[in-house]
A = this chain, B = another copy of it.
Amino acid sequence: MQTELSNALGVEHAVFGFTPFPAVAAAITRAGGFGVLGAVRYTAPGELARDLDWMQEHTDGLPYGLDVVMPAKKVEAPQGHPLSEADVEAMIPQEHRAYVAALLDTYDVPPLAPGEASGWRITGWMEQVARTQLDVAFDYPIKLLANALGSPPADVVERAHRHGVRVAALAGSPRHALHHKAAGIDVVVAQGYEAGGHTGEIATMVLTPEVVAAVDPLPVLAAGGIGTGEQIAAGLALGAQGVWLGSIWLTTEEADLHSRRLTAKLLAAGPGDTVRSRALTGKPARQLRTAWTDAWDDPDGPGTLPMPLQGLLVAEANSRIQRHEVEPLLGTPVGQIVGRMTSERSVQAVFDDLTRGFERAIDRINRIAGRA
């Protein structure tokens, strides 16, 4: 499936695959799609360089991209300097710390081993860290730089354009999308309510054409609720120049969730087993519904803190839950298509299913339209 955008990027299929795993991103690109590596977990520039080296060796010269997190709103400490992790720590109420401790206690979550670090650091969500990621990234032939939260700063857009890199940004509403257009963004990812991760209230079926109309003639990718070839056909019928898939790759053989129990939970989950909750970061993000999300969404609990406080508050707890695979609390961001993720397969096998399902959908709709 080819659109103006996929042709401009030099990919065979207008299927964009977002993933935190280099092996998955490379396999998506090799399969004929456009792999986008999520960079949020790289806090050390050397690690990102190592994984981009690996990507470069395993993508046969085919195009791929990078996704960073630069929150649109800069958070400053009361003293007026950029917020440090220590500043954020100091802003967390004792009541919330006690609630985390009680939850971990209730579910008998063991501590991390001595010297074992929490895998998730707030620093990955801070602009200064994203900027050091960019210093690394522009040394590689990335073709797309995506930003997950808001429009990136003007100098970052300029720098990308100087390197011949298109800039994409996620939008949950036509208003967000217009903001991106004004900021000089090249591609808008319209991310619907049903998507995994941070989402707004508007579903993909409605959001996609709204965003297409709002930012015309900029190309739009449809995201949220897309995990089959039929859903790809639907997203493209809505006016998108491509589709953006994240959840579907989580249960591929190349993905490394570090937890067989979590993979099993994803494979068993139905479309109603996710929830849009502030439990993870302080902003609404769709994820598996667990005893952990229930506890944070409980009206009798203390509720969640705003970003970035909530993320720091729960970072170590989440690492402990993941490390020890504590079943009732174990979760991950994932969209409503989790119901269709029922077996572990290679990225190539998933991709083949996508293109075959797309062709079937085109056959069927042509019959309905009386064109077959």
| A-to-B contact residues, CB < 8 Å | 1-3, 14, 173-175, 192-194, 200-207, 209-210, 224-226, 228, 230-231, 233-239, 270-272, 299, 335-337, 339-340, 358-359, 361-362, 364-366, 368-371
Interface centre among A192, A210, A237, A336 (most CB of B within 10 A): A237
Contacts of A207 in B (CB 8 A): 271
Q: Which of B1, B203, B224, B365 contacts A224 (CB 8 A)?
A: B203
Contacts of A370 in B (CB 8 A): 1-2
A125 to chain B, nearest CB (A): 25
Q: Which of B193, B228, B230, B299 contacts A194 (CB 8 A)?
A: B193
Q: Which of B2, B204, B270, B299 contacts A368 (CB 8 A)?
A: B2
Interface centre among A14, A175, A236, A337 (most CB of B within 10 A): A236
The reply to whether B193 and A209 form a contact with Cβ atoms under 8 Å apart is: no
The reply to whether B192 and A205 form a contact with Cβ atoms under 8 Å apart is: yes
The reply to whether B230 and A239 form a contact with Cβ atoms under 8 Å apart is: yes
The reply to whether B368 and A1 form a contact with Cβ atoms under 8 Å apart is: yes
The reply to whether B368 and A366 form a contact with Cβ atoms under 8 Å apart is: no
Contacts of A230 in B (CB 8 A): 209, 237-239
With A1-B369, A230-B237 known to touch, is A203 a contact of B209 (CB < 8 Å)?
A: no
Give the docked Cα–Cα distance between A97 and B210 (Å).
40
Give the docked Cα–Cα distance between A369 and B12 (Å).
11
The reply to whether A362 and B358 form a contact with Cβ atoms under 8 Å apart is: no
A103 to chain B, nearest CB (A): 22
9 chain-A/chain-B pairs, Cβ below 8 angstroms = A174-B339, A193-B193, A200-B272, A202-B336, A204-B205, A205-B231, A234-B238, A362-B366, A365-B365
The reply to whether A205 and B233 form a contact with Cβ atoms under 8 Å apart is: no
Contacts of A209 in B (CB 8 A): 228, 230-231, 340
